[in-house]
Structure 1
């Protein structure tokens, strides 16, 4: 499998994992303090071939994702679950620990975020679904993010990400039904 877009990752170990999974080029941010030179490389890559941001499912990874998407609009986003990003033994979480199949699937499911779109799913819908408050809200959001391939978010970010990925009510309802059925 060959990916046309250039994949933005956090470091060398992520690049190694990507190359084990498929034929692709990467740009490494080398941590969450993304330099202006790296942003310029990503901007050029987006103009020439397109970019997929594929960072770890943790706070620093989300910080990088946010910074790059703000500076370079129109990038696609690939997400991996925390479960798939854990090593077989030892500690840590990251793309570098994911299996080649998990990486390929995440890249196949990459989405483009749109900033200016109509609200389809409201905060009230999220509250009613038990995704914002309640004892199971965090676990529900995590599973919903896996099913919809939009990554894990806190309650506030979930509303924003559902809008950005243009998740419609039918897809949301179907994913939520699966979450509830699995509980």
Structure 2
């Protein structure tokens, strides 16, 4: 079977993630080598983003989220691919290198572009949607993360992701209506 060719440059955390992706797709992949990214690495990300586009594809954990946020701060609007923690878990370890190729290809096909300069949803609307403070707020946020393909996160970070993806109250209501909550 011929591997799918990805035009954008993909950023992953480490060499094992890179090796796994190369088993699944045909793409140029760079590694952040963890959370301590150099200015040279970030400059390279900016350059690739301008020339070909960039997809950030990090593990669904704290360090992965830190890398994602730092690249957003330094580079701006990029595409993001995400897997659910259950798709990346093997024994006690979590990482893209443990995911199935089918899940990786699907996540990359559905990569979302996060726009960092917009506010399509106010904090008041976010609260009214029951996404913070309520007994099932975390489950509602988790449902939206799966529906809109961004990492599961706390209320503040979910609010940021929804705005970066230009999601409105209507978008969130439609997604939540499909849930069993």
Instruction: Decide whether the 8 Å contact of 2:77 with 2:116 is kept in 1.
Output: no
Tell me by how many angstroms 1:108 deviates.
1.0
Q: Secondary structure at the match of 2:107?
A: helix
**Which residue number corresponds to residue 86 of structure 1?**
89
Residue 97, structure 1, aligned to residue 98, structure 2: yes
Cα separation, 1, equivalents of 2:73 and 2:157: 15
Tell me by how many angstroms 1:127 deviates.
2.3
**Which residue number corresponds to residue 47 of structure 1?**
50
Tell me by how many angstroms 1:140 deviates.
2.1
**Which residue number corresponds to residue 108 of structure 1?**
109
Tell me by how many angstroms 1:55 deviates.
0.5
Instruction: Decide whether the 8 Å contact of 2:125 with 2:169 is kept in 1.
Output: no
Cα separation, 2, equivalents of 1:48 and 1:70: 19
Aligned residues: 178
Listed one character per residue, the Cα deviations across residues 62-97 of structure 1 (whole Å, up to 9, x for unaligned) are 11011112111232111111121212xx11111111
Cα separation, 1, equivalents of 2:51 and 2:121: 34
Cα separation, 1, equivalents of 2:85 and 2:154: 14
Residue 17, structure 1, aligned to residue 15, structure 2: no
Cα separation, 2, equivalents of 1:130 and 1:2: 40
Cα separation, 1, equivalents of 2:141 and 2:77: 25
Tell me by how many angstroms 1:132 deviates.
0.5
Tell me by how many angstroms 1:105 deviates.
1.2
Tell me by how many angstroms 1:115 deviates.
2.2
**What pairs with 1:26-65 in structure 2 (closer than 5 Å)?**
26-65=29-68
Residue 69, structure 1, aligned to residue 68, structure 2: no
Cα separation, 1, equivalents of 2:170 and 2:9: 32
Normalised TM-score (structure 1)? 0.90
Cα separation, 1, equivalents of 2:58 and 2:67: 7
Cα separation, 2, equivalents of 1:77 and 1:102: 14
**Which residue number corresponds to residue 5 of structure 2?**
2
Gaps of 5+ in 1: none
Cα separation, 1, equivalents of 2:152 and 2:174: 18
Say which is worse superposed, 154-163 or 52-61, in terms of deviation: 154-163
CA RMSD of aligned residues (A): 1.5
Counting strand residues as a fraction of each chain, which structure ranks higher?
2
Normalised TM-score (structure 2)? 0.91
